[in-house]
Amino acid sequence: MRILRPRAVLFAGVDASGEWALGFRERNDLLFCWVEQGQCLAIRPDHQPLLLKQGDFLLIRASTPFRLASSNSAMAIDSETAVASSKSKRLQLGSSDDRQTTLHAGKFIVSAANNDLLEELLPQTVGISASDPSVGRIRALLAMNEAEARLPGPASEFVIIRLVELILVEILRSGLVSINSEKKGLLAGLADRYAKRAIVAMHRDVARNWTVAELAKLCGVSRAGFAARFRRIFGMGPIEYLLRWRIALAKDELQNGTKTVAEIAFSVGFGSSSAFSSAFTRTVGCSPTQFARACGTEATEALQSDRTLVRK
């Protein structure tokens, strides 16, 4: 969670009635909404519509366009255009007084350095029913985050970081419960008793020179069986996963800017700066130094974007 550096922004509310639909572009943003009143459909291409009832919470990664709508046939207006042209933080949709629906929406903003981890960490959607105890905690934490952002107090930055981390942890815990055998990625791995042991061990001692045989022994299964199971869940072998995790930690340290390239290299398990630089360049597409320089520019732009969203 630390290397994602998440921030949460509530950017709009929706008061809708009758026939209505709000379209979201493909942005790979991590959006969320919860239904305060009424119900609506979350509609994605090539998927069955997901019915959201009063009190339900939805986390959705906009890697494909999607709509929130009163029905499958409702014509959608573009969400970005609607928010930009609205003089209020609440969008008014629909033209009749029946079937009132009230939504709250926002997005999680994560570090650009490791944004690709979201695809491995989360399925495209995580729906949490109103009957799930975590929904109340998520809404309360979001409200606290919004209040802290608008009226900062002592240590507000620290409080906001911890609140957002707690929000995502609650979502991940709920998503973990609903994982089935067809899902892939880190959540699925944590739900698998064998893969989980290997993941925890590698994360706990990332600099160790792990082998597939050692990890298999730790999990109590054969080397071949472990390797096949891990690949089926993650789409890659355990050593490749370890390399990607090391690079993710290195990207976070480079973005933080408090350690030298050599210090980072040794801390994540590389025997030399040159070995680290070669692996980093091969994986990321640029050198560690170039990456760190780019992160400085992106951090300034992200801060300006956050301030704009909070002022609206």
Q: What is the pLDDT of residue 4?
A: 67
Identify whether residues 33 and 79 lie together within a single domain: yes
* Structural domain of 226: 186-293
Q: What share of the chain is helix, strand, coil (3-state, %, to 5)?
A: 50, 20, 30
| 312 found inside a domain | no
Q: Give, as one character, the DSSP assignment of residue 258.
A: -
CATH of residue 110 = 2.60.120.280
Identify whether residues 81 and 160 lie together within a single domain: yes
3-state SS, residue 243: helix
Predicted structure pTM score: 0.68
Identify whether residues 155 and 218 lie together within a single domain: no
Q: How many domains does the chain have?
A: 2
Identify whether residues 56 and 85 lie together within a single domain: yes
Q: What is the pLDDT of residue 152?
A: 81
102 bridge partner residues: 15, 37
> End of a domain among 116, 143, 177?
177
| 306 found inside a domain | no
- 262 with 254: CB under 8 angstroms? no
Q: Which of 159, 165, 101, 167 is nearest to 139 (CA)?
A: 167
Sequence-distant (≥ 6) Cβ neighbours of residue 52 within 8 angstroms: 33, 35, 39, 40, 41, 42, 58, 68, 127
Q: Which of 32, 243, 202, 199 is nearest to 128 (CA)?
A: 32
Q: How many Cβ atoms from other residues are within 10 Å of residue 37's Cβ? A: 12
Q: What is the pLDDT of residue 171?
A: 76
Identify whether residues 62 and 157 lie together within a single domain: yes
Q: What is the pLDDT of residue 227?
A: 95
Q: What is the pLDDT of residue 268?
A: 94
Q: What is the pLDDT of residue 67?
A: 94
SS3 string, 109-142, reads ECCHHHCCHHHHHCCCEEEECCCCHHHHHHHHHH
CATH of residue 202 = 1.10.10.60
CA distance 88 to 122: 32
Could you tell me the mean pLDDT of each successive run of 10 residues in the chain, 312 residues long?
66 86 88 89 93 90 90 92 83 82 83 66 78 84 78 81 78 60 68 89 94 95 94 91 92 88 94 94 93 68 42 42
